[in-house]
Amino acid sequence: MRCTRRSSRPAGTLPGPTASSGGRSRRPVGPVPTWRPPGSRSPDGRWVTPNVVLAGARHPGVRWAGLCGSESVVELMPVVLVVDDSAANRELIRLFLATIDCDVMLAEDGPSALALIEASPPDLVLLDVRMPRMDGYEVCRRIKAMPRGRLLPVVMITGLSQTTHRVMALEAGADDFMAKPVEGAELIARVRSALRLKELYNTLDSAEHVIFSLATAVEAKDSFTERHTQRVGESARLLGEKLGLPEQTLDTLYRGGIIHDIGKIGVADSILHKPGPLDAIELPQMQAHVAIGESIVRPLHSTSGLLPIIRHHHERFDGSGYPDGLRAREIPRMARIVSVCDAFDALVNDRPYRTRRSTQEALAVLRAGAGTQWDPETVDLLASELPTLHHLGAA
C-alpha cells in the first residue's frame, strides 16, 4: 500500500481554519502521532517518501492526507507569507491564494514577518512596500541577509508605479515586483513562478548540504582536527562582528571557516597524518588542496562567496604564500580573517607533527608573523578579543 493518498475532509478531522495557516489546512483529531522525517521508516516498515511525512504538531505547510496503517499521514505544502499593514489587503491575497495548493501565513509589519521567517521559514514572501515601522525595502534587505532567508524568493507589491521604485525593490534583493491593485490571475501566475524558483533553490541548498557534509567527513577522518573547522568558523564570524561587517558577510565567514579545507578530501591520508615535515614531493600535493576545494565548490552558485576563502586562506601577507602569491590587501579580506583564525586554532591544538602550544605562545607566533605571514590588523583584533573567544583555548 502506498501511503500518499489525500482527502479533502478525512474522517477524524475538523474543518476550519488554524491560526497560522489562514484556514487552508486541517489537522488530525485525537492522539498526535510521532513526526518522522522524509526517508525514514514508519513502525510498520514503510518508507516515508520525500513529500509525505507522518503527522506531528500542526505546522504551516503540513496537510493531513489520510492514514498509513494506524498513523496519520500529512503532505508537505509550500508556505506563502503575506506581509501587509492592511488587514483588507492581507485577506484579499489570502482569498486569491486559496485557489492553489499552498498554506498562507500573515504578518502585519516587517518585524513580525522577520520573526516568523526566523522561526519557520516560508517558501515565498509577498511583501508590501509602504508599511509603518519598517518599509518593505528594509524588510527585504534583512530577509536576504538572514542565513534562512538568502534563498527565499521575495515578491514586492506596491501601489508606487514609478520605475525608480521597481529598481529600489530589485536592489534590495527582491526576486519579482507587482503593482497594486493586485489582479488574481497575475498574482497566481507570479506565485507559481516564484514557487518553482524556490524548488530550484531547494535543489541548490541540498547540493550545498552535501558539500558541507563532505567537509565534515574530511575532518572526521582525523582526530587531531576534530571540531577545528567549527571553531574557525565561529571565531571568524565573531571577528567579523567586531569589524562591523554586514550579516551576509558574517554568514559567509562562518560557512567559509567550516568549509575552507574541503579540498583535503583529495589529499592522501599518509600526507595529512604524517608526523614529520612534508618532503619536496608531498608539499605540492598538500598545497593542491586549495585548488581541489575550489573545484568542488565552484559549480554551486549559492556557495560562490566562499571561493575566495577556500582558494586564498594560505596566501601570505608578504606575497610568499600559495596558490597565487597575493600580498597584503590583494588577499581577500575574508581569507585574511579565516587565515588568522585557522592558524591560531591549529597552534593551540595538537597536530600529528607537534604538540599544542599555550594561548600566549600561539599569540606570540602570530605576532611574530604579523606583516609577513598574516594580516597585522587581524592579528591585533584576535589578540584583543581573546577573552571573548573562549572556545579558541587549548583543549
Residue 132 pLDDT exceeds 50: yes
Between 350 and 101, name the one with better pLDDT.
Answer: 101
N residues, the chain: 395
- 206 occurs within a structural domain: no
- pLDDT tens digits, residue range 6-47? 333 333 332 333 333 333 333 333 333 333 333 444 444 433
pLDDT band with cut points at 50, 70 and 90 for residue 90: very high
Q: Are residues 90 and 133 in the same domain?
A: yes
Q: Are residues 177 and 83 in the same domain?
A: yes
Q: Across residues 226-254, what is the average pLDDT? A: 89
- pLDDT tens digits, residue range 112-121? 999 999 988 8
Q: What pLDDT is stored for residue 177 in this prediction?
A: 84
- 216 occurs within a structural domain: no
- 305 occurs within a structural domain: yes
- pLDDT tens digits, residue range 292-351? 999 888 877 667 889 999 999 999 999 999 999 999 999 999 999 999 999 999 898 877
- pLDDT tens digits, residue range 271-292? 888 888 899 999 999 999 999 9
CA atoms within 13 A on the CB side of 229: 24
**Percent of the chain clearing pLDDT 90 (strictly above):** 40
Looking at residue 320, which CATH number applies to its domain?
1.10.3210.10
- Beta bridge pairs of residue 351: 354
Q: What pLDDT is stored for residue 375 in this prediction?
A: 98
pTM confidence score = 0.54
Distance CA 157, CA 169 (A): 9
Q: How many CB atoms lie within 10 A of CB 175?
A: 21
Where does a domain end: 77, 105, 138? 77
- 209 occurs within a structural domain: no
Q: Across residues 349-373, what is the average pLDDT? A: 88
Nearest to 318 by CA among 331, 335, 334: 331
Q: Are residues 5 and 105 in the same domain?
A: no
Between 41 and 87, name the one with better pLDDT.
Answer: 87
Q: Are residues 365 and 274 in the same domain?
A: yes
Q: Are residues 234 and 382 in the same domain?
A: yes
In the block, cell 487552508 appears at 24
What is the distance between the terminal CA atoms of the chain, rounded to a whole angstrom?
Answer: 53
- 214 occurs within a structural domain: no
Distance CA 33, CA 30 (A): 9
Show the domain range for 31.
1-77
**Percent of the chain clearing pLDDT 70 (strictly above):** 73
- Beta bridge pairs of residue 3: none
Whether the CB-CB separation of 129 and 169 falls below 8 Å is answered with yes
CA 331 to chain centre: 25
Q: Are residues 54 and 89 in the same domain?
A: no
Distance CA 307, CA 295 (A): 9
Q: Are residues 244 and 361 in the same domain?
A: yes
Q: Are residues 43 and 108 in the same domain?
A: no
Can you say whether the dihedral through the CA atoms of 212, 215, 220, 226 is positive or negative? negative
- 166 occurs within a structural domain: yes
Q: What would the 3-class secondary structure string for the chain be?
A: CCCCCCCCCCCCEECCCCCCCCCCCCEECCCCCCCECCCCECCCCCECCCCEEECCCCCCCEEEEEEECCEEEEEECCEEEEECCCHHHHHHHHHHHCCCCCEEEEECCHHHHHHHHHHCCCCEEEEECCCCCCCHHHHHHHHHHCCCCCCCCEEEEECCCCHHHHHHHHHCCCCEEEECCCCHHHHHHHHHHHHHHHHHHHHHHHHHHHHHHHHHHHHHCCHHHCCHHHHHHHHHHHHHHHCCCCHHHHHHHHHHHHHCCHHHHHCCHHHHCCCCCCCCCHHHHHHCHHHHHHHHHCCCHHHHHHHHHHHHCCCCCCCCCCCCCCCHHHCCHHHHHHHHHHHHHHHCCCECCECCCCHHHHHHHHHHHECCCECHHHHHHHHHHCCCCHHHCCC
Where does a domain end: 17, 42, 77? 77
Q: Are residues 157 and 62 in the same domain?
A: no
Q: Are residues 100 and 55 in the same domain?
A: no
| Residue 79 backbone class (left: φ over 0; alpha: ψ -120 to 50; beta: rest) | beta
C-alpha cell at 275: 608526523
Quote the number of domains for the chain: 3
- 211 occurs within a structural domain: no
Q: Are residues 159 and 226 in the same domain?
A: no
Where does a domain end: 53, 77, 101? 77
Whether the CB-CB separation of 123 and 95 falls below 8 Å is answered with no
Between 45 and 374, name the one with better pLDDT.
Answer: 374
- 259 occurs within a structural domain: yes
Q: Are residues 50 and 90 in the same domain?
A: no
Determine which of 71-85, 101-115, 318-332, 343-357 has the lowest per-residue pLDDT on average: 71-85
Determine which of 119-128, 139-148, 158-167 has the lowest per-residue pLDDT on average: 158-167
Looking at residue 172, which CATH number applies to its domain?
3.40.50.2300
